[in-house]
Amino acid sequence: MNRPVAQHGSAGPTLGISLGLVLAVILGGALAGCAGTPRTSTSQSPAAPAYDAGRYILMPHGDSALRATLKKRLADQGWQFAAYTADMTRGIDDYRAMARRARYRITLQAEEIGRCETGEPSYRYRIALIENASGDAPITQSGADCLNVVDRDFTRALQTHAIRPT
């Protein structure tokens, strides 16, 4: 029987050619991939919206008459809205991301506690209008009153603090 004789110190000519060919194909493919990849602009963050955040307020979900009244009051003054959920506030980076989405956010806690003489609902409430970039709250209101009184006071606060879309 003829058996191949192992040669020490040499991989043999076919193994060297095969390894070189494999490396050349891999390297060539990698370089071709880089050359064919278009360069993308990084002028805007991927999280940045394609709209003017200075015209937006983050507004919580809900169906209370108080929320609807505040939203209408703000819309009448030219504000637009984006959804605001609690999971948006998990860390400082989230607040920066909110500032890119909207100038302000509203936090609202409201519990309907009865009816006023006019028939409209009365609420126990807490409202805060918070500037996303700084965390300042130019408007904070709390109490218990009829819907029209809360609306009137909120409208006055918007005027007093010159809260307008940019």
Q: State pLDDT tens for residues 44-87.
A: 444 555 568 899 999 998 889 999 999 999 999 999 998 887 66
Grouping H, G, I as helix, E, B as strand and the rest as coil, residue 158 is: helix
Write out the two tokens for 35: 């050359």
The helix (run of H) or strand (run of E) holding residue 29 is helix 13-36
DSSP string, 86-130: GGG-SSHHHHHHHHHH-SEEEEEEEEEEEE-TTS-EEEEEEEEEE
Strand partners, 110: 125
Give pLDDT tens digits for 31-42.
444 444 444 443
Provide mean pLDDT across the span 111-121. Answer: 95
Q: pTM for this one?
A: 0.66
Provide mean pLDDT across the span 143-152. Answer: 97
